[in-house]
Structure 1
Amino acid sequence: MSVVVPFLALLLASAVAAYHRMRLATWVVISAVALLACWFLGADRTATVVAGALLALVAVPLLLPFVRKPLLTAPALGFLRKALPPLSQTERIALETGSVGFEGELFSGDPDWNTLLSYPKPELTAEEQAFLDGPVEELCRMTNEWEINHVHADLPPELWEFIKKNRFFGMIIPKEYGGLGFSALAHHKVIQKLSSVSSVVSSTVGVPNSLGPGELLMHYGTQQQKDYYLPRLAVGQEVPCFGLTGPFAGSDATSIPDYGIVCKGEWNGQEVLGVKLTFDKRYITLAPVATLIGLAFRMYDPDGLIGDKRDIGITLALLPRDTEGVDVGRRHFPLNSPFQNGPVRGQDVFLPLDQLIGGVEKAGLGWNMLNECLAVGRSITLPSTASGGAKFAAVVGGAYARIRKQFGLSVGRFEGVEEALARIGGKAYAISALSQATAAAVDRGDVPSVPSAIAKYHCTTMGREVASDFMDIVGGKGIILGPRNLGGRAWQASPIAITVEGANIMTRSLLIFGQGSILCHPYIMKEMKAAQDPDGKAGLEALDDALYSHIGGAISNAVRSFWFGLTGSKIGAAPGDANTRRYFRRLDRYAANLSLLTDVSLGALGGKLKFKESLSGRLGDVLSHLYMMSAVLKRHHDLGAPESDRQLLAWAFHNSAHQIELALSQALRNFPIKPLGWLLWPVVFPLGRRAVPPGDRLSHRVAASLMAPNEARDRLAQGVFLTPCENNMGGRIDSYLAKAIAAEPVERKFLKALKASDIEALDFASQLDEGVREGWITADERRQLEELRALTLDTITVDDFDTHELRAASYYDLPQHKRQPREAA
C-alpha cells in the first residue's frame, strides 16, 4: 500500500492546486512538500523517487522559458498555423466588433460572481420614469388593438401623430439633436410596456430606435448628416427604415446581390460623383411609410473614380423615398399582424456620395457598422417585446384562471392548468431578467454581441412557449378574435420575432456558441491571433503567454467538474444569501463543464466544429442558461432578495439547470468522437444526471402566487400596461381579481345553500332573491354576488359579428382582375 501513497499524494496535491487555479510554481512547491512528507512518514522510497521524477519531468520544461519555448511552444505554434482554418471576412468582422462582458467569466470555468453583483443596479432617471408614466401610459390608453389590426390595418392617424409629437422615434437620439437621449434601460422599459398592449405599436416605435438610420448616423454619420437628419428623425419629420434583407440574402446578409456602381450623375440639377444603385429588398419594417431609407449594398468602383480598389465592399447609404427610380409603398402581411412592412426596390437609382453613411471614408465598412448596431438593437427590441408579452400573460393569465370557473372550481385549481401557469410565471421571470440584463450591458458601454444573441433567441423562443400556454388557459377567450380577445394576436405574431434579425435556428446552432467560444474564451482568441501573427517571434511570445494558462485552465475545469459533480455542488465558496448560495455553486459547476467541453471540442475538432451545428447548439444552450440564470440572480439581489420571489426564482433556476444537464448529456452522448464522449461522461456526470424539472409542489406555489394579489405578483407586473379601461381587456380582468377573491366565501356559502334547498328558481337573479328571503345571504352579499357575476361575464365574454363586418370591404370593391397580390420573389 505504501507504494501507492506517493502517487496519491502527488495526485491530491495536483487536484487541490488545479481546483484553486494556483500558479505552476505553487503547484510544484505543494507537490514537493507532499512527496517529502511521504518520504519521512514511511512511504515506499522508490515509489516516492519515481513520483518526484514524474513531477520534475513535467515541471522543469514548463518552468524554464529557454527550455519551454523551443521544445514545446514552437511546435505548438506550427501545429496551430496548419490546423486553424482561415477566418472569413464575415467571421473576422463579427469577432472584432463585439465586446465581452460577464459572459467571458462564464467561459473561464470559474466565474467571479462578485463582478456580476457589483454591476450598478439598473435604474431609470426621473425624466425617463416620467415619460413612462406620462406619454407611454397615454399611448397605451389610446391604443385599440382590434381597430389597428382589423379596421385600419395600421395605426390610426392620431396614434402616428402622438408618437411623432412625443418623440418616441427619437428615444435614442441625443438631446442636442432634439431627441430624448434616453438610456438603453428606458428604451427597454418603453418597448416592454407598449408590447403588453400591442405588438404593432411596439414594433413601430422599436424599429427606429433599433437598427436603422438614426443609430447608424449617431455612430458613423458625418457631422453634416447628423445635423440635418437627426433632428428630423427625432420629431418624426422623417420616418426611417433600413433595407438589408433580400430574396437571396436572409440570415447570410453578407451575400447581398444588391450593388452600386461609382459613376457621375445628376443630383439636384448638378453633375456630381455618386453611385448607381440596383437593389431588391424585402421584409423591411416601416418601408411602406418611410421617408428615409437606409440601404446596404455592395459597392464597386470599376473606373477607379475614388481609389484603386474595384470591389469596395458592403456600404451603407441614406436614400430619400422620393429619389427617382425607388419603388416602395406596397406591403407584406406578416401573419395577420399589420405593422408596416414591405419591399423596397430600385433599378439604376443614382445617389451622390455624400449620401453614404459616414461619407466616402466609411465606404466598404458597412458590415462592421451593421454588426455593432445589430448587437445593440437585438439586445433591446425583441427581448423587451417578449418580456412585455410574457409578463402580461403571467399576471392576466393568473387572474383569468382564478375568476374563470368550471365544475364549481376556479380553472387555475386544476393541476393541468397549474402546470401551464407555472411555466408562464417562471419563464416570464427569466425573460424579464434576461432582457433587462442585456439593456444594462448596453448602458455600461458594452457591444454585447453574444448576450444579444442569447437574449434574442431565448426570450423570443420562451415568449412563443408562454403564448402557447396562455392560449391553452384562456381557451375561447383567446381563439375568438375581437375587441374582447385575449392573446390571439400575440399568438399569431409570436413566430415573427422568432424569424427576424437572424432566424432562431441559425442563432442557436451557429452564432451563440460559435461566436462565444472564440470571442469570450479567455485564451482562444489570443492563440488564434498568435498563430496568424506574421512576426514569428511576436507570435511565439503571445502563444507562450496564452497556451500554458489555457492548459492549466482546462485541467482545473476537469477537476472542478468532477469535484462539483461528486459533491452535488454542496461544497465551495459562493456569494449570495442562504437561499441563493446553492444556486451560485451549481452555476460554478456548469461553467466548469462548459469550459471543459469547449476546450475538448475545439482541440479535437478544430475548424470542423463550426460544421457540427448540433453540438454547437447544445453547448450554446449551456452558455445561454448560464447567462440567463446569472441575470436572474443579479436582479434578485438588486431587489434585495425578496423572500416572496423565491418560488419564481426556484422555478426558473431548476428549469434552466435541467436544460443545462440535458444539453450536456446530449452533447456527450452524440460527441463526434465517441471515445472522447465516453471519457468525459464520468468527469461531467460522476453520479449521473441529477437535475430534474421543477416539481409539482413548486409549480403549485408559482401558480398560486399568480392567482392572488401579493408582492411577487406585483413585482412581476411592473412595466406592464394594466390600467383598466375600455381598450384594455387584460387590465380590466386584472382589476377584477381582488373583488373575485373577496366574493368567493359568499359564493361558496350561497351555492351550498342553493344545492341543499328545493327552490324552483332557475335564473340567477331569482335565485339571489330566494337567497335573501331565506336568509342565506344578506342584501350586501347579494350585491357582491351580482358584481361577481358581472365581472365574470366581462372576463369570459367573446365577440360575434355580422358577416359583412368581417369582410375586407376594400378588397371586394376591387375588380376581379386586381384582387391578386403582385407575385413576390
Structure 2
Amino acid sequence: MPSFRANYITRPIHRWAKGALPALSDTEREALNAGDVWWEAELFSGNPDWDILRAVKAPKLTAEEQAFIDGPCHELCSMIDDWTINQETADLPPEVWKFLRDKGFFGMIIPKSHGGLEFSAFAHSEVVRFISTRSVAVAVTVMVPNSLGPGELLHQFGTAAQQEYWLPRLADGRELPAFGLTSAEAGSDAGAMVDEGIICKGQWQGEEVLGIRLNWAKRYITLSPVCTVLGLAFKLRDPDGLLGDTEEIGITCALVPTDLEGVETGRRHIPSSTMFMNGPTTGKDVFIPLENIIGGPDYAGRGWMMLMSALAAGRGISLPSMGCAAIALSAHTTGAYARIREQFRLPIGKFGGVQMRMGKLAADAYSMDAARHLTCAGLDEGTALSVISAIMKAHATFRMREALNDAMDVHSGKAVIDGPSNYLLPLYRAVPIGITVEGANIVTRSLIIFGQGSIRAHPHMLDNMMALQEPDRERSLEAFDRSVWAHIGHTTKTLFRAWGRALTGGRFAPAPDAGDATHIYRRLGRWSAAYALTADFCFLTLGGALKRKEMISTRMGDILSEMYIISAALKRWDDEGRQEADLPVLNYAAEAGFQRIQTALDDVIVNLPARWAAWVLRAITWPGRREKGPSDALVEACSDLIYAPSAARDRITGGIGGGCLHPGITLLNECYAEVNAMAPVMKRLREARKTPQEGLEAGILSDAEMEQIAAMQDLVSRVIAVDDFTPDELTRYFNDFSQPIRSREGESEATQKEAAQ
C-alpha cells in the first residue's frame, strides 16, 4: 500500500514528472546504461570523497610493456619519414606495414590467449602517445584497430567461435580491420543512418542459409581502403518475420569480409593532408549469414549498446593520447626554442608575451597528462568510463589545438614553412581530425558530457528516470517516491553545503592533508557543491527541456570536465611525491580551471529561463568574479620550468622529446643542451660587452671556448633555419610547377611574360 506521503504528496509530483519526461527510446536507454560511473560521480555529488581518488593506483608499465616501448616503438619511429608519407608516397612504406604486423601493434588490446599483446590501457596509451610525436599518420594506423572496431567488439561481445577465428588473425595482421559507422547522410547522428540490412535467405558457401542482405554508404572510415574485414553498423529489419514478430530490430553490428561481391573499398579521402588510409565504402546487396552478427543472432538490434560500451574505453585512450602527445611536444620544443632563439640580443623566452604562451603550455602539459594517467588507471581497474572518456576526448583534443596555436606563435616563421624539418606543422594539420572524429567535440560537449553525465553520475537522477519509465503506475509511484525524496534530501544538504562553502571560499571544506595543495582540494570542494546544486536547479526548472538547452548543457559539461582535470592534477602531484618544483604548474592548472568554472557557472545562472532559480543560485553559490586566474608571477614561474633544463621540465613534458626521433627535434635537443652548457661562457662575454672574437683577443676566452662557441652558433643557425626547395625539387610535389606559363585567353604573350616577371 502506498504511504500517506506517496499518495498525497508524491503522487501529484509523479503525475507532473511523468508527463514532463518524454519516453526514452531504446537507443537512449542503451546509451544511458552503457559504461560505468567512477570519480565523476563523486564530483557530481557536491561533496567528493578524496580518499577514493587517492586510493586509485597510479598506472605503471610492466617490464614487458616497457620493453615494447624501448624496443619496437623506438625501432618503428626510426623507420618513419613522415614528410615522405604525407608529401610523396601517400602511404606508409611496405616495411612499416610489415613491421606493424610482425610486432603485434594491431593486437595490443587482444588477449594473449588469442595471440595479442594484452597490454594495459596505460601501455596502449603510451604507445600511441610515443608514435604520435613522430607521425600522426602512423599513430592513427596503429590506434584505430585498437580502439572502436572489430577487435574491441569481438573481445567484449563475440561468440567463442568468432573469437577463436578472428582475434588471432587480427592480432598478427593477417586480417586488417576497419569499422563503418558514419553514414554519408547521418554524420554524428548515428541513429539516423540509412544503411540497412534485411533478414532473408541467400547463398553462403554453396548452401542456402538465413542471413542479411546489406546495403550501405559510409564515409570517413579509417583503414577502409586497405581493410580485409569491415565491421559494419546498420539498421536491421525483418519485414517477412523470419526471426519473429519484430520488424524494426534496430542497430546491429556485423563482420563483412571485403572480398564479398558487392563490397566496394579502395577509394580514399585526404584527411587534412595527413596520409593515413581513410576513405568511403559502399555495399550493394551484400549477403552475409546471421552468424556474422558480432555476438551472434542474440545480439541483433543491440548494436548501439555495443558501440557505446566499446567506445567508453577506446575514446578515452586513442585520441587523448595523441592530444597529450601534441601538448607535451609543444611544451618541450617551445621551451627549447625559446631558449635558443634570440631577438634584440635576448632569448625570446625572456619576453613577457612569449612567457604567457609558455606558462600555459607547461600547465596544460602537466594537467592533461595527469588526466590521461588517471583515466588509464580507471580503465585498468576494469571500469568502462563512458562520461570520462568523452571528457578526455573533447578536452585533450581541444587543448591540443590551443597548445599548437601557442607553439606555432612562439616559433613564428620557423613553424610556418613546411618541410622535412618542421616538427609542428604535421601535428597542427592533424588538429581538425582529433577535434572531429569519435564524436565531434561540439556534439560531445553540448550533448554527451552533461547529457549522459547528469543522469549517470548524479546520485538519484537515473533512479528517478527509471521509476518514471515503469509502465505500471503504482510500481512507478512506489519507486519514484523512494528516489525523489532521497533526491530532495540530497538537494537540501547540497544547498546548505554550497552556501556555507561559498561564504567561506571553501576554507572549511573536507580535504586531505596534502601540504601546499590542501587549499586546492578545499576550493574544488566548494565548486563541486555549487555545481551539484546548480545541476539540481537545472533539472527542476527545465525538466525534459534540458537536453534541448545545449548551451547550458555545454557549460555544465565544461565545469564537470574542469573539475576532473584539476582532480587529476592533484592526484599526479601526490603520486609523484609532491614535488615542490612542480607546484607552479599545479597552481596554474587550478587557478585557470577555477576561473573557467566560475565563468561557466555564472553564464549558466544568467541564462536560466526561471529567473527565481537564477536569483536563488546567485545568492547561494556566489559565482561572481572572485577567481582571478593565474597571476603574472605564476605565469613566469611556469614558463621558467620549461625554459631551463631540469628534472621538473622532464616531468612536465614526460620526456617525450628525447625519444621521438624526428630529425628536427633531435637537432633542437642537441642545440638546447649546447646553448645551456655554454651559458656561463656567453654570460662572461656579455658582462665584458665583447664579441667572441674580441673576447678571444682580450684573453677572456680560450681557443677551446672559441671553438665551442662556433660549434654552438652553427647549431643555432641550423635550428632556426627553415626548409627551401629548388623548382626542380618542387616538381615532385607539384607536377606543373616548372611548366611554361600557359597562354591565357585574351592576353598577348608579351603581357603574360610581363606579369610573370
Tell me if both proteins adopt one fold, taking TM over 0.5 as the criterion. yes
2:663 pairs with 1:728: yes
For 2:677, what is the secondary structure of its paired residue? helix
Residue deviations 1:451-472, cap 9 Å, x none? 1111111111011000100001
Q: Is the 8 A contact 2:340 2:675 kept in 1?
A: yes
Correspondences of 1:571-610 after superposition (within 5 Å): 571-610=508-547
Correspondences of 1:610-629 after superposition (within 5 Å): 610-629=547-566
- How far apart, CA to CA, are the structure 2 residues paired with 1:385 and 1:269? 46
Tell me, which stretches of 5 or more residues in structure 2 are unaligned?
A: 738-757
For 2:24, what is the secondary structure of its paired residue? coil
- How far apart, CA to CA, are the structure 2 residues paired with 1:771 and 1:635? 48
1:786 equivalent in structure 2:
710
For 1:289, what is the secondary structure of its paired residue? coil
1:416 equivalent in structure 2:
353
Q: Is the 8 A contact 1:291 1:321 kept in 2?
A: yes
2:654 equivalent in structure 1:
718
Q: Alpha-carbon deviation of 1:353?
A: 1.9
2:631 pairs with 1:709: no
Q: Is the 8 A contact 2:133 2:660 kept in 1?
A: no
1:46 equivalent in structure 2:
none
Q: Is the 8 A contact 1:722 1:732 kept in 2?
A: no
- How far apart, CA to CA, are the structure 2 residues paired with 1:706 and 1:617? 33
2:747 equivalent in structure 1:
none
- How far apart, CA to CA, are the structure 2 residues paired with 1:200 and 1:332? 13
Change in CA separation of 1:321 and 1:721 when aligned onto 2, cut-off 3 Å: farther
Q: Alpha-carbon deviation of 1:742?
A: 2.2
**Percentage of identical aligned residues:** 46
1:690 equivalent in structure 2:
626
- How far apart, CA to CA, are the structure 1 residues paired with 2:78 and 2:489? 59
2:585 equivalent in structure 1:
648
Q: Alpha-carbon deviation of 1:777?
A: 1.0
- How far apart, CA to CA, are the structure 2 residues paired with 1:492 and 1:678? 45
Q: Is the 8 A contact 2:131 2:660 kept in 1?
A: no
Q: Relative to structure 2, which stretch is displaced further, 305-314 or 255-264?
A: 305-314
For 2:678, what is the secondary structure of its paired residue? helix
2:723 equivalent in structure 1:
799
TM-score calculated relative to the size of structure 1? 0.87
Correspondences of 1:34-49 after superposition (within 5 Å): none
Tell me, which stretches of 5 or more residues in structure 1 are unaligned?
A: 1-64, 756-766, 814-825
Q: Is the 8 A contact 2:555 2:604 kept in 1?
A: yes
2:442 equivalent in structure 1:
505
Q: CA RMSD in A?
A: 1.9
Q: Alpha-carbon deviation of 1:194?
A: 1.0
Which of 346, 355, 364 in structure 1 is aligned with 2:301? 364
2:675 equivalent in structure 1:
740
1:225 equivalent in structure 2:
162
For 2:713, what is the secondary structure of its paired residue? helix
Count of residues in correspondence between the two structures: 737
Residue deviations 1:650-676, cap 9 Å, x none? 111111000000001111112122232
For 2:225, what is the secondary structure of its paired residue? helix
Residue deviations 1:797-825, cap 9 Å, x none? 11111234334569769xxxxxxxxxxxx
- How far apart, CA to CA, are the structure 1 residues paired with 2:735 and 2:207? 44
Q: Is the 8 A contact 2:107 2:146 kept in 1?
A: yes
What letter corresponds to residue 191 of structure 1 in structure 2? V
Q: Is the 8 A contact 2:56 2:377 kept in 1?
A: no
Q: Is the 8 A contact 2:108 2:124 kept in 1?
A: yes
- How far apart, CA to CA, are the structure 2 residues paired with 1:721 and 1:317? 41
Q: Alpha-carbon deviation of 1:211?
A: 0.4
Residue deviations 1:181-217, cap 9 Å, x none? 1111111111111112211111110000000110111
Q: Is the 8 A contact 2:134 2:660 kept in 1?
A: no
Q: Relative to structure 2, which stretch is displaced further, 567-576 or 339-348?
A: 567-576
For 1:280, what is the secondary structure of its paired residue? strand
What letter corresponds to residue 92 of structure 1 in structure 2? R
TM-score calculated relative to the size of structure 2? 0.94
1:130 equivalent in structure 2:
67
Q: Is the 8 A contact 2:77 2:660 kept in 1?
A: no
Correspondences of 1:232-311 after superposition (within 5 Å): 232-311=169-248
What letter corresponds to residue 56 of structure 2 in structure 1? Y
Change in CA separation of 1:580 and 1:724 when aligned onto 2, cut-off 3 Å: closer
For 2:261, what is the secondary structure of its paired residue? coil
Q: Is the 8 A contact 1:464 1:491 kept in 2?
A: yes
Residue deviations 1:671-708, cap 9 Å, x none? 1222321232121117x321112111111011111011
Q: Relative to structure 2, which stretch is displaced further, 298-307 or 160-169?
A: 298-307
2:96 equivalent in structure 1:
159
Q: Alpha-carbon deviation of 1:130?
A: 1.1
Q: Is the 8 A contact 1:302 1:310 kept in 2?
A: yes
What letter corresponds to residue 718 of structure 2 in structure 1? D
Q: Alpha-carbon deviation of 1:721?
A: 4.8
1:533 equivalent in structure 2:
470
Change in CA separation of 1:593 and 1:361 when aligned onto 2, cut-off 3 Å: same
Residue deviations 1:412-432, cap 9 Å, x none? 110000001111111111211
- How far apart, CA to CA, are the structure 1 residues paired with 2:95 and 2:169? 19
What letter corresponds to residue 728 of structure 1 in structure 2? P
- How far apart, CA to CA, are the structure 2 residues paired with 1:296 and 1:721? 39
Q: Is the 8 A contact 1:708 1:738 kept in 2?
A: no
- How far apart, CA to CA, are the structure 2 residues paired with 1:455 and 1:602? 25
What letter corresponds to residue 737 of structure 1 in structure 2? Y
Q: Is the 8 A contact 2:24 2:469 kept in 1?
A: no
Q: Is the 8 A contact 2:366 2:653 kept in 1?
A: no
Q: Is the 8 A contact 1:287 1:342 kept in 2?
A: yes
Q: Alpha-carbon deviation of 1:378?
A: 0.5
For 1:350, what is the secondary structure of its paired residue? strand
2:45 equivalent in structure 1:
108
Q: Alpha-carbon deviation of 1:224?
A: 1.4
What letter corresponds to residue 701 of structure 2 in structure 1? I
What letter corresponds to residue 637 of structure 2 in structure 1? R
Q: Is the 8 A contact 2:58 2:373 kept in 1?
A: no
For 2:255, what is the secondary structure of its paired residue? strand
Q: Is the 8 A contact 1:178 1:235 kept in 2?
A: yes
Residue deviations 1:484-529, cap 9 Å, x none? 1120111111111101111111111111111111111001111111
Q: Alpha-carbon deviation of 1:731?
A: 3.3
Q: Is the 8 A contact 1:194 1:721 kept in 2?
A: no
Residue deviations 1:50-91, cap 9 Å, x none? xxxxxxxxxxxxxxx944333323333223222222122222
For 1:124, what is the secondary structure of its paired residue? coil
Residue deviations 1:576-599, cap 9 Å, x none? 422111111111111111111111
Q: Alpha-carbon deviation of 1:778?
A: 0.7
- How far apart, CA to CA, are the structure 2 residues paired with 1:719 and 1:367? 39
- How far apart, CA to CA, are the structure 2 residues paired with 1:164 and 1:790? 41
Q: Is the 8 A contact 1:723 1:732 kept in 2?
A: no
2:417 pairs with 1:463: no
2:491 pairs with 1:554: yes
What letter corresponds to residue 730 of structure 1 in structure 2? I
1:341 equivalent in structure 2:
278
- How far apart, CA to CA, are the structure 2 residues paired with 1:735 and 1:724? 14
Q: Is the 8 A contact 1:618 1:664 kept in 2?
A: yes
1:181 equivalent in structure 2:
118
- State the structure with more CA Rg: 1
- How far apart, CA to CA, are the structure 1 residues paired with 2:659 and 2:480? 60
Q: Alpha-carbon deviation of 1:716?
A: 2.1
Q: Alpha-carbon deviation of 1:793?
A: 1.7
Change in CA separation of 1:812 and 1:295 when aligned onto 2, cut-off 3 Å: farther
- How far apart, CA to CA, are the structure 1 residues paired with 2:417 and 2:325? 22
Q: Alpha-carbon deviation of 1:242?
A: 0.3
Q: Alpha-carbon deviation of 1:179?
A: 0.4
1:35 equivalent in structure 2:
none
